[in-house]
Each structure stands twice: as structure tokens, then as C-alpha cells.
Structure 1
């Protein structure tokens, strides 16, 4: 006997069917399994790139990525500091649901599901270079135990603050770097010959060459422009780079020359990356993501205001105001993403895992907080978040549409900002909108399943 659906039930099923059709279309678009390259700078600010308003530091190659792809204006990092931000990116869960929400030591357990393990299961060759921070040598957390076919870089986050280390790691093998020597006192380099960033880039390019004829995922989590703090103090004025290049003759403090030279060096390498993909005839079959792990730092004698590193935003690294967590995101995919486009879609690091799964044509896990932003990249209808949440050492922040709630400490009053009219978070309107403040405060409580 045929059952008859009431009109109300039909109306409920229409949007469900619509989203199913959209998802099917998106998977069909990505059926060829494009290569995925995810480049993440370390402590690069929202205002440090020309395409985001930077007027002094030169970033022509990254700006060209934006001209040939899509620029996100409301994208957020996983956290306001390094390790938990990387954890969020890899697991697709925000910091209210991850085991840590600050820069404490953490080791991935055996069998952890990450974007890397999922892509490996989907047939991708997986590689990474740069800073890991989620498992020391001889633990279950090392990259080779977490889905990486290849890894080259730092395992210990503390060592990653030295650009001239004595060694790096290739998978689980220690690789001694020629000409670098650490002195006996305070772990400070006394000989500096091999600049780690250049070696990381060389290994990344070699991985691409070796795997150009099969789907690959490359995670390039660079350490530029993080300050170098060897032995707990700034070395060589805190921003170490082999040469200052086009900034050598500027009448600037030495740390600012180093900061600008670091970013332009990374920009140079992004230009070489695109040239390599063209040489290998893989440019059209590769999706490049470029972002930063959190907001700009004020360390190593670099001052955020010198280059206006946070742009129009308030705060910087370790803050949960916009300057600490809103970051650049540029995505290029020739023939798929419309060139020179900008989106204000509100997204975050935990959205990368489902986006990568959509690109690979596989299902995302159910227990994640992320929503794929592949529809935005392809110009299709995009599901949105009800809210985004962060926590750090008693601080909390939550964004819901135009509204941003911030609490700067466990006993501090809730602050409320309307980001549509006040992107710089200068006018706390919690008293004018008590119902909205109360609702967002309740959402903060509901967004947590773990404690600091």
C-alpha cells in the first residue's frame, strides 16, 4: 500500500534533498582526486600580505595566488597559539572539543583520525614539512604513525624556534644539518650555516616531484615568520634570516628588517611552488591553500604596529579578539575556482578536514565540528555554522553571524561586538543587547565538552 506524505513532511524533505544533490554535484566535481597542498605560515598576521592591505612588505607571488583564486575575509585559525591550532586543523574539532586548548605538551594517540589518515585511506600519498608539535620521537604521535608517508622537519615545538638547528627529522631518522652548532649554554647557536626554512622547502619540492603522477597531499607548516627564541631569549634581534634582501638599506630596526625579509622569502618560495607545478603539468590538478596558524606575534623585538600586521583588527597572538584568530586564507584551483574572487563566508580551521574529504570524494567523520567550504570554492550554495568557538587559558570567544562574544578571563564580564559595523572590536555593546549577550554566553557553555 502506498503511503501518502503530508505537505509539511514534503516541505521538510525538500531542503534535505537539495543538500544531497549539491553534495553529489560537489563530489562529482572533485572525482579526479586533485592534489592538495596546504601551506601554513607561523604567526603571519591578517595584515601582513599585500592582498590583505599590506603596504610595505612585498608579497607579489602570494598576491598573485589571490588574483588567480579566492580570498577569504572571514576565515579563522584553530586557535590563538601554535600547538592547539594545528590540533584543530588536523582533527576537524574546535578547541572546546579537543584534549588541549593551550600550548601544553600533547601526543596523538595511536589510531587517531585526522585529515592525513583520511586522505591516505582515500589513496593519497601524504607528506609534510615544517613544525609538527604533536608527538615527540619514539611516541605514537610522530607523523609516520599518524598517516604521513613522508615527513621532514621539527618534531619538538621548542626546537622549531631555532632557524639553525643542529638536526631535523626525516620520518623517524635524525638528519644532521651541516655547519650548524648549538653552544653548551642556553642552547644558543654558535655556528649558523644551514637555514632550516630553505631545507624544508627543498624537501617539499622533492616530494612533489616524486609524486607528481599520483594524487598527493602536502602539508607545509612553515616556521616563518615566528620569532627565534633560542634558550628562552631573542637571538640576533629575534627575527633571523640569512639576508635582509630588498630591506637591507631601510632605516628600520633590525628585527623589522628580519620580519619583512622572512615574509618575502616565503613569498618567493610560493612563486617557485607554482612554477614547479606548471613544469610538472600539475597546476590545473592541484588545489593550493595558503594561511597562517594564528594572528601576528609581538615577539623577538618585532612590533605589531610597525607594519600594521593585524590590519584593521584588534589584538594579536594569544588574544581571542579578531587580531589573534582571524587569518588570511587564499585558495587557488585553476578551472574550478573563479579567479580574483573574494568571499566573506565565515569559516575556520576545523572546516579543512571535511573540505579535503569532499575534494578526495570520501565521507567525513560524524564527530567533527567542521563544515566543508568546497561549495564556496565552486560557487555553489554553502551551508553555514551556527557559531564558531575558541578557548584559551580561561579566555573564550564565540562568533555567531555578525556578533562576536569575548571573555578575557574566567571572572571577566562578557563583551559583545557587532563585527558588521565594528570589525576592530572597539565598542562593547553587551549592555545594549543583553538578550544576545545572554544567548551567546549560553552557547559558550554548550560548546565545551573538555576542561583546561
Structure 2
């Protein structure tokens, strides 16, 4: 095909995408003042792989180290989150938790469910699109669904989950080849899509790190020319193996006129296509007496660093750097794969930093990831924050930046107060679960208690600032190992049983992990059949639920703690009574209190409403009748509850259409059939609840 036709096709793709954005978004007046957001996710970059996090320290100690000068600059002018956690220690579940703002106790993609369809619920993209943002994903996806073989037939293609624009790898395994048009070592040619078009035959000589940077730059520039606030999810497929490197030096300069550039011509798609592929070792590492796989890995990380610097320069050139937040992080801990390039382990550079564990471990090295947030003029520079936070916190963070309430189903808490210096500690909760049949490597850098540890079913919870972690779980009664990871990042001193405080914390951890998650039949756990523990019998209770009425128009059932409005009315009501509403539309009601469960067993809750509602018991989402809910239909869910008192919250929203207000919550359980939840089972605590 003639080169000009390739370029014509490229222009058509961008034009169609821009037109789709214009037609699909109801943009609020003045939305150009909304901050742009770029979320950069790397693949298998370890906590210790960033200079500012660990590599610079290795250099000072005379150890082999690699460099990330642009990321170090970002860290010096932004904030390092030094205890930030992924949803799970592998790609697919980690990215699912990120995109949907839920931890692994609620995500529909768990364990090693690569390519499983991301459920049709709120995502980072769909939430921000509602706020008037253009939404784009460039890079690796891997959540499209196992059925289908095309954008039309894949159930959860990115453009079906809130993204206006997509260019990248759809399938998880395709991201293991960084030259899609070529067969490299142990990897065949693979497919890569731009919009709905498969374009790998146009990408001869193209290295994906450069491709994704160039496409990201073009898309950012297009949005700025349209005065369009944007959200870009830039998901590099490196430095995960194969350990393929670029073909040419990184072009000088950066931004609008330098660095990598998108050309779009046959055999010249970007400006770093060389005469050969997979050959360029960065001069800082070439000729050193390092193993070749390590030279390759260091060069891959440096190429990402070049790309980030290029994008930062672009933002300055466009004069939007002070109105753009960049988040840089990784999807899990460091890998040990090479895929045909020789023996490789992450020990040469200690990619795990001062932590133990790698990818697939729930020790710190597998789940704690290097995270930098950069927003010049809006955030204090050169700062760190070590309060535990997680991937599920980004959805409410970005919603707050867009002036929107977070959806009620999110498990996250906005990081914005921490990032802007308003608050020192994050108020959210970190929870991780994962299962894998391997073992922790017996690297000499790791504590002896971790060597060869059978993984099996694993679980992590932060409570009272302490990390609880369980490996090879056999039952809900298995003890947590408890660590103070602020003082002991290597998890060398197990505090479990060391004091009365730790004994009490042990039981609270066992209870809490049952109270905040929901079982998933596709990822069974040994504690799935355990009843959710009740509270210790409260003394300060009275009949009735607390209620709050918000006169607000919301695009979904909101987390009421994120509403800008104060409640119009509040008080005590006998039950889930719509009679407390102050008007019949554009309203949000919250009912909160305690549900008395008469005996231990399985309870089925049934909910019917005219628009949307979300039911939580403890921290578990029991009914999500929000996105995709058919108004007026009955939705049901089972939960196994222990006899006693359980915190309950029901949020009802009526915003868009004038309908007859309807809210009916029923339950059934041991020895009784479905009936309304009676006032005799509903209580609230007196005083501050």
C-alpha cells in the first residue's frame, strides 16, 4: 500500500475518534479548566527500579545500578508514595482493580484470569467521560474477554468500557513481544489495534515503548488543540519480558519538535525505525561487564524514562504542565522472565529494593510499587508520603478532580488531600488477595523466613497501620503474620502474638477480611463459606436507622461522603422509608445503622427501586443496583452472616428521570421466607455514629 494511504488512514482514525468524542460528551461550561490526567503504568517495574527510590542509593554504595534521570526529576518536583499497593501481584487483577476502583474482594477479575472481560461497571474512563473528559488508552489492555477475536466481538473492548480512543495490545500475551510486526526469539508476530483496525503489518521496525510514547504525544496535542480536558491511560508493556530493546538511540530533544514522533507511513510509522531491530543498548550500560540480559533490562527501563521525559517536555511546550497531573507507577513487583534472552533474575539490580518478594508474591516486593505523582503548581514538590494506599483509590481521586462524586461501589478513598498537603495520612484501606502455586525465590537478599515459602492462597490487609499477610491459607483461622512495614520494610520481625495488643489485632484482622469482601465462584477461597463476623454486642443502641437527605443531581449512586452538598435533612427513621425525602427527584438518600441478624446462616437480600441503589453490609457490597440496573426489576444477593449486629448502609439515588419513587428491601434467611426488613431488626448507635 502506498505511504500516503497509510497516512490518510491514520488521519481518518484520529478524525473519527475526535468526532465521536464531540458527539458523546455533554461538556460542562468552562471544562477547559478541569485538570488533565495522565496515568502511566509500567509492566513489572520493581519498587527498586527507580533511581530516586533505590537505584541511586546502589550507585552511592558502588553497586551495579541503572539510571532514571527524568523520573528522578519528576520525583524531585512531585510526591513519592512510598507505600502504595497494587490490587494483586500480577497484571490482570491489578489492572482490573485500578480501572474499576475496587479491591480484589470485589473485582470480577482475580488470580490469573488474564484476558477475562472487565465487568460492565464504572471505570476510570467512564467516570471521567461523564465529567466532560476525552478518554484514551495507549498500550497494553488484556481485559477484553475470552470470547471473540475482533473489536466488534470482544465483550469488554476498551471503547466499550469508557475509552474514546484505543491504540495498543488487546491480548495479554501479545504484550510479551515489543516488536509486533516481527518474530523475536520465543515470541511470534502479534496483533496491535488502532481503534477498530488491526495495524501490525504497518509497524515494521516499530518498538512499542516508542510507539506508545509517540501516539500518546499526538493524542495529547490533539486534545489541547480542541481545548479538551483529557484522561490518558498510558500502559507500557515494558520492562516485562521479552527483554527486547530499541533499535536506535532516543531522538534528541522532546515535546512538540523533538523526541519520538508519529509519522504514520508504511515502514516508517514512527521516527525511530532503524535498519535492524532489537539491538540498541544504552551507552551508559554498553561495554560494562554486566550480563547481557541485565544490560537489556536497564536499557528498557531507560527507554521508558526517555518517554516520560519526552511527554513532560510536551506538556511544557503546550503550556499545560501546571494543569496536568501525571501519575507514574507499575502493575506489580519485578519479574524473573527472559523469554529467550538468557538467564535473568531481578537480583543484579535488586529491583525489589529493600523489600522481599517479587511478582506473584504478596510480600512487599510483589505488591508495593514505585509511585510518583507530579502536578507542578498544585502539589508540594520533593515530598514523600508513606501512609498505605492502593490502586482502588485512584477512581475517587480522579472523580474529585473532575468535580464528581465517586460511585458508591468504589472501595477507594480520594488521595487528593494527601497529594495537595491538606492531610498527612491517607484514610483508605488496603486489601489484597491472590492465589498461585509457586514459591518465593530463595534469593540471598531475602529474609530466611521467606525462602521457598509456598504461595497458595495469599491475603494482605492493613489495619491500624500494620500489615497482616497470610500465605498458603488453609482456613479462616490461619494466623496472619503482622509487620510494621514503616520500620521493617523487609518484613523480618513478625509481631503476631508478641503482645496483648497484637493478639487483639490478630482477631480483628481475621474478622475484617471476612467483612470487606465477597466470594467469587471463579476464584474460590478456603474462607468463602465462613459467616461474616458480627460486631461485639453494642451497648449504646436504639431502634431505627440514621438517615440523611441530599438534594443533589448525580450521574450514579454516589458515595455520599464525596458529595459536595451538606445534607438537607437528617434524623432517625424506623426503616428504609422514602417518606423522609424532601422532594421526589434529584435526590440522594442514605440509610445507615445496624442490622440485627437472628441466627447464623445464609441470608438473601432482594432490592427493587425506580432508579438506583447500593447496599453494603460492613465493607462488603451486597447489592449493586447502579450501572446497568433495569429500573423496577428485583436484584438479589446472598451473604452468610453470623448471629448478631452488622453495620448496614443503603444509598438510594433518583436523578435523571421523573419516576414514581420506589425503594423496597427484603430479605429471607434460616426459618423465614422473603419479607420486608422489619424495624425490629434495625438499630443505630447513639452519640456519634
How high is the TM-score relative to the length of structure 1?
A: 0.85
Q: 2:496 aligns with which of 425, 430, 433?
A: 430
2:213–2:311 CA contact under 8 A, matched in 1? no
- Residue aligning to 1:163: 178
Q: How much has 1:447 moved relative to structure 2?
A: 2.6
Is structure 2 residue 183 aligned with structure 1 residue 120? no
CA offset digits 1:71-114 (Å, max 9, x no partner): 1111111210001111000111000111132121411344x211
- Matches of 2:127 and 2:425 in 1, distance apart? 22
**Could you tell which deviates more after superposition, 83-92 or 437-446?**
437-446
- Residue aligning to 2:480: 414
The verdict on how the C-alpha distance between 1:344 and 1:31 changes in structure 2, with shifts beyond 3 A counting, is farther
- Matches of 1:31 and 1:434 in 2, distance apart? 53
- Residue aligning to 2:118: 108
- Residue aligning to 1:152: 167
The verdict on how the C-alpha distance between 1:306 and 1:229 changes in structure 2, with shifts beyond 3 A counting, is closer
Q: Report matched runs for 1:80-119 at 5 Å.
A: 80-104=89-113, 105-110=115-120, 112-119=121-128
Question: Whose radius of gyration is greater, 1 or 2?
Answer: 2
Q: Report matched runs for 1:5-404 at 5 Å.
A: 32-54=33-55, 55=59, 56-104=65-113, 105-110=115-120, 112-136=121-145, 137=150, 138-166=153-181, 167-178=191-202, 180=204, 193-212=205-224, 213-228=227-242, 241-246=278-283, 247-300=285-338, 301-381=343-423, 384-385=426-427, 387-393=429-435, 394-404=457-467
- Matches of 1:144 and 1:114 in 2, distance apart? 12
**Could you tell which deviates more after superposition, 132-141 or 409-418?**
409-418
Q: How much has 1:416 moved relative to structure 2?
A: 1.7
1:124–1:215 CA contact under 8 A, matched in 2? yes
Q: How much has 1:209 moved relative to structure 2?
A: 0.9
CA offset digits 1:301-330 (Å, max 9, x no partner): 331211011111110110011111111111
Q: How much has 1:382 moved relative to structure 2?
A: 6.0
- Say which structure, 1 or 2, has more relative contact order (CA 8 Å, 6+ apart): 1
CA offset digits 1:160-206 (Å, max 9, x no partner): 111112331012210124465xxxxxxxxxxxx22122111111111
1:109–1:140 CA contact under 8 A, matched in 2? no
Is structure 2 residue 510 aligned with structure 1 residue 441? yes
Q: 5+ unaligned residues in a row in structure 1: which ranges?
A: 1-29, 181-192, 231-239
The verdict on how the C-alpha distance between 1:129 and 1:405 changes in structure 2, with shifts beyond 3 A counting, is same
1:154–1:168 CA contact under 8 A, matched in 2? yes
Alignment length (residue pairs): 401
The verdict on how the C-alpha distance between 1:124 and 1:386 changes in structure 2, with shifts beyond 3 A counting, is closer
The verdict on how the C-alpha distance between 1:194 and 1:346 changes in structure 2, with shifts beyond 3 A counting, is same
1:168–1:177 CA contact under 8 A, matched in 2? no
- Matches of 2:303 and 2:32 in 1, distance apart? 35
- Residue aligning to 2:674: none
Structure richer in strand, relative to its length: 2
2:105–2:517 CA contact under 8 A, matched in 1? yes
Structure richer in helix, relative to its length: 1
- Matches of 2:344 and 2:230 in 1, distance apart? 36
- Matches of 1:377 and 1:100 in 2, distance apart? 29
- Matched residue of 1:211: which SS? helix
CA offset digits 1:401-439 (Å, max 9, x no partner): 431111111226532222233210012222323222222
- Matches of 2:461 and 2:278 in 1, distance apart? 37
- Matches of 1:418 and 1:269 in 2, distance apart? 36
Q: How much has 1:242 moved relative to structure 2?
A: 4.1
Coordinate RMSD, CA, aligned: 1.9
- Matches of 1:326 and 1:229 in 2, distance apart? 23
- Matches of 1:164 and 1:229 in 2, distance apart? 11
1:31–1:360 CA contact under 8 A, matched in 2? no
2:47–2:368 CA contact under 8 A, matched in 1? yes
- Matched residue of 1:160: which SS? helix
- Matches of 1:83 and 1:196 in 2, distance apart? 19
Q: 5+ unaligned residues in a row in structure 2: which ranges?
A: 1-30, 60-64, 182-190, 245-276, 436-456, 524-689
- Matched residue of 1:251: which SS? coil
The verdict on how the C-alpha distance between 1:283 and 1:96 changes in structure 2, with shifts beyond 3 A counting, is same
User: 4+ runs of 1 displaced by more than 3 Å?
Assistant: 177-180, 382-387
1:92–1:351 CA contact under 8 A, matched in 2? yes
- Matched residue of 2:38: which SS? strand
